[in-house]
Amino acid sequence: MRHLVKIFLFCLFFTFSVQQVFAACLVPSPGMSAEEIQSIINECSALVNQYHQQVVSLSQQISLMDNQIKLTMLKIAQIQAQIDSLEKEITSLSSKITRLNDSLDFLSRVLLERVAENYKAKRKNPLSFFLSSQNFSDFISRYRFLQTVQLHDRELLFSMEKTRLNYDEQKQLKEEAQEKLKNLNTQLVSQKQQLAIQMKDKERLLEETKGKEAEYQRILSAALAEQETIMKAVQQAILKLADGTKVEKGQEIALIGNTGYPCCSTGTHLHFMVTVDCQRDSNGVLRGCTAVNPADYLKNISVVYDKDVVPMNFKGDWDWPIDNPRITQEYGMSYWARTGYYGGKPHNGIDMVSASSIIKAPKEGILYRQSTTCGNCKGGCCATVNFVALDHGGGVYSWYWHVK
């Protein structure tokens, strides 16, 4: 009875929490500034992150995905508001630049006329200029007029230089605004792509689970068990390095299997993983391994990707462990990782299948074979998963899970 009360209180708390998230992730009102939208984004992001780890059911996962979709839509709205503001600014700057350009043209023409007049005036003999005056008073007036003209010419030059500097400044501001606009449009495309992925993830989750809680829990348990088993074997020193066998590159080391099913595997595949910084202690136990992206080690060859698998950038010199690979799940925040199957953590390897079941060493090394239990052995689902590890030296290991 006490346990039932705890479960009820937790569900009540989570329902309230989800409602809070929904309340925070409101669609912005028309005309909202980018700064106002940012405050909504901050609140929504905080709540989504806070309750991400509390997802324990299909309905809660769907609620979380809905809010992640709303968060992305908020970011799109914010970027669009910034784009609209920049476009208005660029239009205004373009108008200023046009007016300044017209002013420069006008000042240039006037200045050229004045230069020509001054040149004619200077060519006159000062004596003839004096003699041509009607009287001394006329000479003084004409002399002062010339001084005024020269002063006006200097002012004209100063005004022209000031206009030119203002023109250059406005032109630079426009170029900076156009560069910002270009970057924002790139961000907008990226966020729209992210939104499409999130909506497709939700659709696929409902399709995979058929909208049934039991199916979601089955897949969730298997995915979590696989990840936890792998990290336990690698990090908690289940593998003891003894009786290793030296193998050459291209040598057969195992066969693709489905060991661990149904507790930590959902079908026949190879989970290929690479770790670095591995060290053996005095008892021969492996410590300190860190999972890295296997794509950094594998050769760039033509591979087939399953639907919704994000293509990877292969840039290493290792051969592939299987022929004609088809990638069913990429390293990192894959569909399964985004959908919460690994507790919010990234997928730590590459899942692949092939028409051939033979697994070959991608590089020479020392081979070790082991097996371990996986799943919730106390809760009713307990299986044995087989794996192979290759020590390539320098703390680098490659791992092959679910082998026969």
Question: pLDDT averaged over the chain?
Answer: 77
In a domain, 392, yes or no: yes
Q: Examine the fold and report which residue of 211, 239, 267 is the final residue of a domain before the chain moves on.
A: 211
Nearest CA to 249 out of 362, 359, 358, 357 is that of 362
Q: Of 67-81, 93-107, 133-147, where does mean pLDDT reach its minimum? A: 133-147
Domain count, the chain: 2
- The secondary structure of residue 28, as a DSSP letter, is P
Is 274's pLDDT higher than 90?
yes
More confident residue, 133 or 188: 188
Characterize 107-128 residue by residue with b for buried, 16 or more Cβ atoms within 10 angstroms of its Cβ, and e for exposed. Answer: beeeeeebeeeeeeeeeeeeee
Q: Within 13 Å and on the Cβ side, how many CA atoms surround 147?
A: 6
**pLDDT for res 304:** 95
Q: Are residues 181 and 302 in the same domain?
A: no
Q: What SS3 state is found at 298?
A: strand
In a domain, 8, yes or no: no
User: Residue 182, class by beta-carbon neighbours within 10 Å (0-12 exposed, 13-18 middle, 19+ buried)?
Assistant: exposed
Q: Are residues 173 and 205 in the same domain?
A: yes
Please give the average per-residue pLDDT across 180-206, as a whole number. 88
In a domain, 322, yes or no: yes
Please give the average per-residue pLDDT across 23-28, as a whole number. 58
**pLDDT for res 378:** 73
More confident residue, 181 or 400: 400
Q: Are residues 292 and 374 in the same domain?
A: yes
Q: For 275-328, what is each residue's pLDDT tens digit? A: 999 888 877 778 888 999 999 999 999 999 998 899 999 999 999 999 999 999
Find the domain containing 69 and state its range: 14-211
In a domain, 257, yes or no: yes
In a domain, 223, yes or no: yes
In a domain, 65, yes or no: yes
Q: Are residues 369 and 220 in the same domain?
A: yes
Please give the average per-residue pLDDT across 335-339, as a whole number. 84
Q: CB–CB of 275/297 below 8 Å?
A: no
Residue with tokens 């939104």: 195
Q: Are residues 202 and 254 in the same domain?
A: no
- Name the amino acid, one letter, at 239: L
d(CA 327, CA 121): 87
**pLDDT for res 242:** 58
Q: Are residues 141 and 25 in the same domain?
A: yes
d(CA 73, CA 82): 14
Q: Are residues 256 and 395 in the same domain?
A: yes
Please give the average per-residue pLDDT across 137-153, as a whole number. 58
Q: For 103-143, what is each residue's pLDDT tens digit? A: 666 666 666 666 555 555 554 545 555 555 555 565 556 55
Q: For 344-362, what is each residue's pLDDT tens digit? A: 788 999 999 999 999 999 9
In a domain, 2, yes or no: no
- Name the amino acid, one letter, at 99: R
Q: Of 89-98, 101-110, 145-154, 237-246, where does mean pLDDT reach its minimum? A: 145-154
Q: For 219-265, what is each residue's pLDDT tens digit? A: 777 776 677 677 666 655 445 555 688 999 999 999 999 998 887 88
Q: Are residues 204 and 248 in the same domain?
A: no
Q: Are residues 362 and 287 in the same domain?
A: yes
Q: Examine the fold and report which residue of 176, 195, 211 is the final residue of a domain before the chain moves on.
A: 211
**pLDDT for res 241:** 53
d(CA 403, CA 385): 8
**pLDDT for res 223:** 73
Q: Are residues 295 and 337 in the same domain?
A: yes
- The secondary structure of residue 26, as a DSSP letter, is P
d(CA 71, CA 140): 80
More confident residue, 315 or 156: 315
Under the banding of pLDDT at 50, 70 and 90, the label for residue 211 is confident
Longest Cα–Cα distance of the chain, Å, equals 124
Please give the average per-residue pLDDT across 266-270, as a whole number. 90
Q: Are residues 55 and 173 in the same domain?
A: yes
In a domain, 282, yes or no: yes
Q: Are residues 227 and 362 in the same domain?
A: yes
Is 365's pLDDT higher than 50?
yes
Q: Examine the fold and report which residue of 180, 211, 242 is the final residue of a domain before the chain moves on.
A: 211
